[in-house]
Every structure is written in structure tokens, then in C-alpha cells.
Structure 1
Amino acid sequence: MKVSIITSSYNREQTIGGCIESVLAQDYPDIEYIIVDGASNDKSVEAIKGAIAGHEDKVKFVSEPDRGMYEAINKGIRMATGDVIGLCHSDDFIYSRDTVSHVVKKMEETGCDFLYADGIFVSEQNTEKVIRKWIGGSYARWKVRCGWLPLHPTCYIKREVMMRCGLYDESYKIAADTNLLVNYLYNCHLKVAYLPEFVTRMRMGGMSTDSAKRKKMWDEDIRVYKGYGFKPVILTKLMKMAWKVPQFIKAKFM
């Protein structure tokens, strides 16, 4: 099973190197790595080229203007030739060297179309300091209607499914991942599997965790839920927030 991992990046010279290293360090032998840079105007391109030096045969790299992260990810999906698509954002890390091996093993054992797992959020300044643990828990379609979703970067999805069910809706600036996950997990009736282990380590402070963008995120989430006919949509949004509360408690006491 070939796995395509996609990283979208724009002006991330300080973090992109660690992201790339975590992908290239994977022990799974059949990984295609795709890096889509949005024509960064800092030193990201130099950092990317330095990080992939000696691994060019495993990496597809493009740097050109785009209209944001979701266009970049869609571009990467269209470039991909793998059986499975996974994401590693430019501020983040794949959790351990054997993470992709574990993902593939679980997908092969279950024959699933869509796999999700657990993730941790860490401090921007100290990536060893855990702020929040996201434990995905079991999947049920009714939970999606009640605001539950897996952590987006823990998801590994068959490329055939993505081409059939649709890519990211680029009209969303923050919530295209929410829209895609609701579509796949509520509308598309996929075979879903849960891997109960950490697969990603994410820095706090990304687009969806920036307090300055919370209002935009709220509005876009409401638009997503209205689009799928979830009623009352405000309750669904509030329930989505409530699912996250135990994660902070577990991170504090575990």
C-alpha cells in the first residue's frame, strides 16, 4: 500500500524543517512525500531544499502562488499517486518513526476507507510540553450530527474515496476540513476505523487554534452544519466544542 503524505506551507522557515524530518524518518518503505509551498517570501524554500537534500527521489516539491492552504492541499492530492492520503502540516510532526507503518497495518487489517487516530497539541515554544491530548474515541455516524469529528491531521483516507467524494471546498478559509470530514463521515457511508494511538504532534497556535480567528471559524462551522441540514445548528456547534473539554483535563492530569 503506497502512502502519499502532503505538507502545505507558506512562510514557515522556522518549523518546516522539523515537519519534513519527521516524514522522511518514517520506517515505512513506500511513502511518496509531496510538499506544496505557496511561493513563500521568507527562507522557507531554502529550508525545504536543505531538509530534502539526499531524498529528492522520494519527494515532489513545488513552490508557486496559491489562494491558501486548502488549494495547496487539493493540488497535492491531485499530484499524489498513493493508495492513501495523509497530511502533515508545516508546523507539525508525525508522532514517531513507525507511525505510518502502524496506520497501514490497521488499514490492511480492517479494509477501511478512512482511518483516524489520536493526536497531541504541544507548546509553540517547547514542543515537549503537552497542552492537550486529542483522544478520538469510537466512531458512530450519529456523533457527527452531534458535533463530534476526529482530529483532521490524524486522518488517512483512500485516494479513490477522496476523488469520488470530493476534495476540500476552497470557499472556506478555516473550516474546509470540517466540511470534508462531515461529508465523508456522515454522507458517504465509508468503512471507518479508529487507531487508538498518537500519530501526530501539533503546535498550538495554528489557523484553527488562533483566538483572533475564532469568530471566522464559528461562522464557517455554522455554514457547514446548515449545509448538511443539522438542526439546530447552534447546538451542534456548541456540542462540537463540548467534545473537546476532556482533552484539556486529560493533558493536565496525565
Structure 2
Amino acid sequence: MPSPRVSVVTPSYEQADYLPDNLASVGRQRYDDVEHLVLDGGSDDGTVDLLEEYEADATHDVWWRSEPDDGQSAAINEGFERATGDVVGWLNSDDVYFDTTTLARVASWFDRTDADVIYGDLAYVDGRSRVTEIDVRPDFDRAKLGYRIVVGQPATFFRREVVDAERLDTDLDYCMDYEFWIRLSREYDVRHVRDVLAGFRRHEAQKTDDAAPVNAEVESMLQRYRDELPEPRNVVVDNAATELRRLAASAAETVGLRRDPPTLAFDGDFAPLTEMLSNLGPGADDVAKALRRWRT
């Protein structure tokens, strides 16, 4: 049986500082059948030059455009429509695939499971492209979606038929992924795989850095699904136990990766082990978010 074709959809706007790592992380994949679609919103920061060079040098299929559009969700939806792969990933322009065999492992995960959607674990990457934390995600549990985002978006992949049938809500500016997971989980098999697949970039220019509009949109969105999701307070105790297990798993994964590091797919490196271990666990913002969700 031939290996599945993997399409990667990347929305982009004014991300020339971080886009090179994104492009490299796809271009360096040791996998034969890759398609990368980059949908740029008309950037004037040098992005077009980067994309022209990327397309010229690529040994895999590259399609891109740079023109004004209707925002991130609309761009991703366009990418879903254009994608020709059997498996489709969504990788924002400031995020990266973790190592050079990520897509080969993704294809293998789909071969071994009948899941419609898989998501793996995340590495957090700072503005200098250092891996500062490993986040082992919890196994999928729809009941927890009213309380927290279970799925790590950059490490998520879909079978072709999912993105053929479903689209992001273009009325949402910040939590389109969160709403997408809730909606998909109504009828699709969503499954976690224990594997660090992607790096999520944390930097000051992120559009989610301003918490107030993000929180307002999330709370409004969740109201749509209150009748079908358990009340957050009903899963708090169970979630605390899940977090403790995740913390232990993340610590073990961190030590293992520092002891035997993979070949990263982007121009980055690992922070010192002591720093990575000190970053594990929920921060103050995570606790505040959980308390706010519980009170709501």
C-alpha cells in the first residue's frame, strides 16, 4: 500500500520573522509525499521573497498565494479546500513541526488506528527558537472540552474526509480551533497519540497575547454548547488528577529528549534541562483561566 500524501495548510500574515522556521520544518521532513499550501494575507514584510525562494528550492510540492483575504479562518478553509492529501495538517506560520520524521510518524499513526483525527504532544518554542517546555497532552475526553482545550492544534492531523466535510467558523477570530474540536467530536473519532509532533511558538506578537478579547470570545462560544457539555465544575477534580499525570509524563519526556535529542526540523535547539523542567506545569495564567471557566 502506498504511503498517504500529507498536505500541510499554513495561514500567514506579517510573520517573516518566524515563517522561515515553519517552512524549514516542512521542507526538512524525511517523507516522500508532502504538499505545503501557504495562504498569506498580503504581507509586505518580506514574506513573498521567502515564499518565492522556498518554492524554488523545494523538493516537495509547494503552492502559495499572497493577497488580502478574509482572515485566518477563511485562509485555513481555503487551504482545506485546495489540499489534495489523504492526511491534512494545519500549521500556523509561527509554529513548526518538531523533528525531521514527524510526518512519517503521523502517516504511521493513521495506518495503525482508525481514528479520524489524531493529535500529539507539543513542544513550546520561544522567540529565539529554543525548545523551553514539553507538554504531554491528555487523552481525548469530550467531557473536558467545556473546561479546557484538550487538543494541541499544531500537532493535529485530519483524514481527508474530515476537512472535505467540515470548515472553521469564520466569525471567530481567536478560538476557531477550540470550537472546531467541540464540533468535530460530535461525530468523529478524535484520538491522542503519545508523540511530540509540533512546536507551538510563544512570542510577544501573538494575536492571542491580549487576553481580554480572547476570553470574551471563548466564553461566548462555549455558551453555544452548554447543553451538550458537562458543567466545568463537574470535571474539576478529575481534571486535577489528569494534570498530575500529565506533569509526570511531561517530565519523563523532557528528560528523554534531552538525553537523546532528535534532529529538529527547524533552526532551533533545546533550553537547558533545568530550565525546561522548571517550566513544566500550569502557570498563573492557566490557573486563572481555569478558575474563570469554573465560575462561569
Which bin holds the TM-score, normalised by the shorter protein? Answer: 0.7 to 0.9
In the alignment, which residue of structure 2 is the partner of 1:227?
224
Gaps of 5+ in 1: none
Q: 1:192 to 1:44 in 2, by over 3 A?
A: same
**In the alignment, which residue of structure 2 is the partner of 1:174?**
174
Give the distance between the partners of 1:203 and 1:83, measured in 2 at CA: 27
Q: Which residue number corresponds to residue 215 of structure 2?
A: 218
Q: Which residue of structure 1 lines up, in the alignment, with residue 79 of structure 2?
A: 76
Name the residue aligned to 1:147.
148
Partner Cα separation in structure 1 for residue 173 and residue 234 of structure 2? 20
TM-score, reference length from structure 2: 0.75
Could you tell me which of 110, 122, 125 is aligned with 2:125? 122
The answer as to whether partners of 1:222 and 1:233 remain within 8 angstroms in 2 is no
**Contact kept? 1:146, 1:236, Cα under 8 Å:** no
Letter in 1 for 2:179: N
TM superposition shift of 1:162: 2.3
Distance in 2 of aligned mates of 1:134 and 1:208: 21
Structure-to-structure mapping, 1:175-254, within 5 angstroms: 175-185=175-185, 187-188=186-187, 190-205=188-203, 207=206, 209-210=208-209, 212=210, 214-230=211-227, 250=251, 251-253=276-278
> Greater Rg, structure 1 or structure 2?
2
Aligned CA distance change for structure 1 residues 147 and 26 (closer, same or farther; 3 Å): same
Distance 2:19 2:110 in 1: 28
Contact 1:118 1:197 in 2 (8 A): yes
Structure 1: how far apart are the matches of 2:151 and 2:112? 20
Matches within 5 A, 1:45-84: 45-55=48-58, 58-84=61-87
Distance 1:21 1:147 in 2: 31
RMSD: 2.8
Q: Separation in 1 of the partners of 2:189 and 2:108?
A: 16
Shift of 1:237: 11
Find the aligned partners of 1:162 and 1:244 in 2 and give their Cα distance.
30
Give the total of aligned pairs.
246
Shift of 1:148: 4.3
Q: Which segments of structure 1 move beyond 4 Å, counting only runs of 4 or more?
A: 230-239, 241-247
Asked if 2 retains the 8 angstrom alpha-carbon contact of 1:10 and 1:38, the reply is yes
Distance of 2:149 and 2:12 partners within structure 1? 27
Question: How far has the Cα of 1:207 moved from its partner?
Answer: 3.6
Q: d(CA) in 2 for partners of 1:118 and 1:28?
A: 20
Q: Distance in 1 between matches of 2:235 and 2:126?
A: 26
Percent of aligned pairs sharing the same letter:
24
Residue 13 and residue 237 in structure 1: after superposition, are their counterparts in 2 closer, same or farther (change >3 A)? Answer: farther
One-letter code of the match for 2:148?
A: G
**Which residue matches 1:133?**
134
Instruction: Give, in angstroms, the shift of residue 224 of structure 1.
Output: 2.0
Deviations along 1:5-32, one digit per CA (max 9) or x if unpaired, are 0111111112111211110111111111
Range moving further from structure 2, 138-147 or 73-82: 138-147
2:108 aligned residue? 105
Tell me if the contact between 2:22 and 2:96 (Cα under 8 Å) persists in the aligned partners: yes
Change (3 A) 1:208 1:14: closer
TM-score (norm 1): 0.86
Q: CA deviation at 1:117?
A: 0.3
Aligned-pair CA distance for 1:40: 0.6
Residue 159 of structure 1 and its aligned partner are, at CA, apart by 2.3
- Residue 2 of structure 1, CA deviation: 1.2
AA aligned to 2:277 is K
Give the secondary structure class of the aligned counterpart of 1:53.
Answer: helix
Distance 2:107 2:129 in 1: 26
SS at match of 2:57: coil
CA–CA distance in 1 between the matches of 2:217 and 2:129? 29
Alpha-carbon distance change, 63 to 56 in structure 1, aligned in 2, over 3 angstroms: farther
How far, CA to CA, are the matches of 2:145 and 2:64 in structure 1? 35
**1:27 match: secondary structure:** coil
